[in-house]
Structure 1
Amino acid sequence: MRKLIYGFGVSLDGYINDRDGKIDWTDPDDELHQFHNDRYRELEISLHGRRLYELMADYWPHVPEDAPPIEREFGDLWTNKPKVVFSRTLADVGWNSTLVSENAVEEVRKLKAGGDGVMEVGGANLGAALIPHGLIDEYQLFVSPVILGGGTPVFPALDQRIGLRLVETRHFSTAVMLRYLAE
């Protein structure tokens, strides 16, 4: 069965963006950017909600030639990685993506059962739909030293708690990674 990772840059107070939807406070240093590139290379499939897909598709397939090599590398990785985009409003998707407009929970269950690799979920709304169903196997939070006071929370409200086990911490100059396994 495929493992599903939910990973996000998050403020100290638990938001993935600020009240205006901005994520400019999450700019990674080179070490963290390389970590993300290496991690992304290991993924079999990347799952995206509509908002994240549109944000990523707006930049990564069009990385300027004068951008740092580490950014150009990620642009190539993102463009070529198989992606599943969950949206009821998009008519089509590009860059090696498949569009799913019905029942994200059932589709993710099928994807998990369809192999033994690693997938990641991107997008807080998509993650919020999957978390209560126990579909997330691992959480990777990249906590930035900022308090936003509002925005989109990294986790949804839940009817019951989810037990986690801390398995790794890693310090970067712009964030601290906390890696947890679901119990």
Structure 2
Amino acid sequence: MSLPPPTLYDPAKHKSLLPQIAQIQADCILQDNTLATFHPDKYGRMDMQRVLHYWLANSKQVEQGTRAIILQFADDNKEELAGYVSVYMKVSETRPFLGVVEKMMVSPLHRRRGVARQVLGMLEEVAREKGRWLLELDTTVGSGAEFVYPKLGYKELGVVPNYGVDPKGNLVDGMYFYKDLREQE
């Protein structure tokens, strides 16, 4: 079954989806040991209020114009999310063209369906429209994302040892990527 086109998050229309967005992030942390801002407690549970509060803050950044979130629904009924990605567009006089790709998350229930390709494709369109032609991102060495980004045209910058603490408490290395969207014009 093919996916519908991705959707640009609009706080006025999609705020009710924030619990789903937070749940996908929690699922990725708990099931994949993903470095994604939060850790589970000592009993292996996520504090969903903290994760939801994080996404409420991201929603406010969308309203302020410093963030865009791309949603991928599982099917045309637009009730279940398959995944998402966001781009942070910091206000900067020295790098007004930079977008930082953050939180590309795909629900474990919807993997290997092209979600990453779809949401990143739309994210790149939105970034271009907003004058953000240089995209940067990071991921954990050994994660599935490490292999997805090069397939989508992102170039590896390098590896930073001990760049984060995973949900199990281990120091892990991080890998940085970039993409210059002007190269595709």
Using structure 1 for the length normalisation, give the TM-score: 0.35
Q: Which has the higher contact order (CA 8 A, sep 6+)?
A: 1
Using structure 2 for the length normalisation, give the TM-score: 0.34
